[in-house]
């Protein structure tokens, strides 16, 4: 299968490059800068990402360009462009001032294949402290902004110094970021590179993924018994349906209720899975979780207890299936990328990344490990899954425990479940002016109980001293960054009034207008 290799030098937007390439129906892999697969015949092109480093930093990431320059089409982005110039004989110097934000290509060579279809003065997005003051011999400038003369340049294959065959490939470099939204024709540039220059057949699709993956799962698993931990979320549900298509009754799913799911969610999810024809064992372990969490207020400690208890409960149930040989997980591509960065340090812990408990003696199966979240949803639709499952918002593994500040009690969970239910139902029912529900327009939403705070109120001519609830809704594409959702005032007024009137223990509703960064999506 054809693929584009994206070498990651640590940029915050490397994942976005991958998403843009996938949007072109082309498979890609994001790999650490020093892990280029030399002997992979399916690679049709290479993209070098940006980086937080300067090429002059002693700790800057470096790669041996001779592994692919000349052999494959190459596109360097920002740091990638500077590294190409610096390594091949050009000059990179610290800019007089950081070049950040919108700029326009005042000159652009639209005859060059990278800029086919570009309009005059096309807007691009700059983000760098160094600038390329001289390009290497044999390279030609193909794009400039007012302040950046060498905004884009290339070296035709025949002029590469290491060109030794008629099959030599050209090199392109841009100092701006085509992958970000603010580069208005960035998708066109990437399409020109991936499709026209690299020759992608654009045959990576949800349909082809389902067919290929089901065949691979049949070959991998044979008649073996597989156990899958379900959460009710999109990822694990799609993984379950894929596995069910491949091995049917040999798949056993386990759904653990830790008591901190949304209101009535355990039964609703079990009913959904029954409709899908899945073999699911539901386990109500809420008493154990509440008991072990009693009096615990530290957020990280709460997460660890829930994670530990989940493994214990899951393992106890899994051991009853004595002939199981595999554990399946709904791990997706961003989980794997975020869990280990290019320096080998953990960025973010994921409950479904990092291997298996040794005592389980099971092999790991991850059918979604190459997919981004939007691709998982497309695969689910391709398999005919219900839309309400496909569009379900991400929900944290520890559930409402990380949306309750302070210790966890059944009463606090009841309060938050009731408030959250009013909020989420409201988002599903409110149809905006463009005909779309608010629920489908936001990436993630939920209520947070500030149980460590009490606020003064007046209800029924009496003074109250109860808890505030904060509502959170964000827009995003992959949760790497997120902006607070600008919900309509009439909707906010209705939801706030309903929560205060109907939920015992709440007398104040606030709305969180923090973006990520600096704030995370969850409060704990």
The residues annotated as belonging to the active site are 78, 177, 179
| Cα–chain center distance at 251 | 27
What would the DSSP string read from start to end of 234-265?
Answer: HHHHHHHHHHHHHHGGGEEEEEEE-S-SSTTH
d(CA 510, CA 504): 16
**Partners of 364 in beta bridges:** 327
197 φ, ψ to 5°? Answer: -85, -50
The upper half-sphere exposure of residue 144, i.e. CA atoms within 13 Å in the direction of its Cβ, equals: 10
Q: Which of 140, 130, 115, 114 lies closest to 79 in space, CA to CA?
A: 130
Residue 309 to residues 75, 153, 274, 277, 328: CA-CA distances in angstroms? Answer: 47, 56, 26, 28, 19
Sequence-ordered alpha helix ranges (H) in 62-170 = 79-87
Strand 74-77 with 462-475, pairing: unpaired
Instruction: For 189-342, list the strands marked E by DSSP.
Output: 225-230, 251-257, 280-284, 324-328
Q: Count H helices and E strands in the chain, helices first.
A: 14, 20
d(CA 512, CA 6): 36
> Residue 422: which H helix or E strand, with range?
helix 410-429
d(CA 476, CA 312): 34
The helix-helix angle for 299-318 and 286-293 (nearest 10°) equals: 150
The most distant pair of C-alpha atoms in the chain lies apart, rounded to whole Å, by 88
d(CA 189, CA 426): 41
Percent of the chain as helix, strand, coil, to the nearest 5: 35, 25, 40
d(CA 105, CA 168): 29
379 φ, ψ to 5°? Answer: -65, -40
């Amino acid at each position: 299968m054809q693929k584009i290799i994206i070498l990651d030098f640590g940029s915050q937007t490397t994942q976005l490059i991958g998403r843009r390439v996938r949007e072109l129906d082309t498979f890609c892999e994001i790999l650490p800068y020093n892990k280029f697969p030399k002997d992979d015949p399916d690679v049709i092109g290479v993209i070098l990402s940006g980086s937080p480093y300067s090429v002059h930093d002693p700790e800057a990431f470096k790669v041996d360009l001779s592994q692919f320059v000349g052999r494959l089409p190459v596109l360097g982005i920002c740091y990638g462009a500077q590294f190409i110039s610096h390594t091949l004989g050009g000059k990179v110097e610290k800019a007089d001032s950081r070049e950040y934000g919108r700029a326009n290509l005042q000159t652009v060579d639209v005859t060059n294949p990278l800029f086919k279809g570009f309009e005059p003065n096309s807007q691009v997005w700059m983000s760098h402290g160094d600038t390329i003051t001289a390009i290497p011999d044999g390279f030609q400038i193909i794009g400039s902004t007012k302040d950046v003369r060498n905004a884009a340049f290339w070296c035709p294959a025949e002029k590469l110094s290491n060109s030794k065959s008629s099959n030599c490939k050209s090199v392109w470099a841009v100092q701006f970021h085509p992958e970000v939204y603010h580069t208005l024709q960035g998708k066109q540039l990437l399409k020109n590179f991936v499709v026209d220059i690299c020759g992608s057949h654009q045959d990576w699709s949800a349909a082809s993924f389902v067919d290929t993956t089901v065949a691979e799962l049949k070959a991998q698993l044979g008649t073996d018994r597989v156990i899958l931990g379900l959460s009710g979320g999109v990822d694990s549900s799609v993984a379950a349906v894929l596995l069910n298509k491949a091995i049917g009754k040999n798949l056993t799913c386990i759904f653990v209720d830790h008591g901190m799911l949304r209101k009535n969610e355990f039964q609703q999810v079990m009913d959904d899975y029954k409709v899908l024809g899945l073999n699911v064992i539901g386990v109500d372990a809420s008493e154990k979780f509440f008991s072990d969490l009693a009096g615990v207020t530290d957020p990280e400690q709460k997460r660890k207890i829930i994670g530990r208890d989940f493994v214990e409960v899951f393992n106890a149930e899994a051991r009853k299936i004595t002939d199981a040989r595999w554990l399946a997980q709904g791990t997706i591509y961003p989980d794997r990328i975020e869990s280990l960065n290019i320096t080998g340090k953990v960025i973010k812990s994921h409950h479904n990344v990092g291997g298996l408990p040794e005592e389980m003696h099971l092999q790991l199966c991850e059918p979604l490990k190459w997919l981004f979240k939007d691709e998982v949803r497309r695969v689910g639709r391709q398999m005919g899954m219900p839309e309400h499952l496909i569009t379900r918002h991400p929900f944290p593994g520890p559930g409402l425990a990380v949306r309750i500040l302070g210790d966890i009690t059944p009463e606090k969970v009841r309060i938050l479940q009731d408030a959250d239910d009013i909020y989420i139902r409201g988002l599903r029912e409110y149809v905006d002016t463009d005909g779309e529900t608010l629920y489908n327009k936001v990436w993630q939403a939920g209520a947070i109980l500030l149980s460590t705070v009490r606020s003064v109120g007046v209800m029924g001519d009496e003074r109250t001293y109860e808890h505030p609830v904060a509502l959170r809704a964000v827009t995003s594409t992959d949760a790497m960054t997120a902006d607070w959702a600008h919900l309509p005032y009439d909707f906010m007024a209705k939801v706030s009034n309903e929560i205060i009137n109907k939920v015992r223990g709440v007398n104040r509703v606030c709305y969180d207008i923090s973006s990520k960064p600096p704030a995370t999506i969850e409060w704990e």
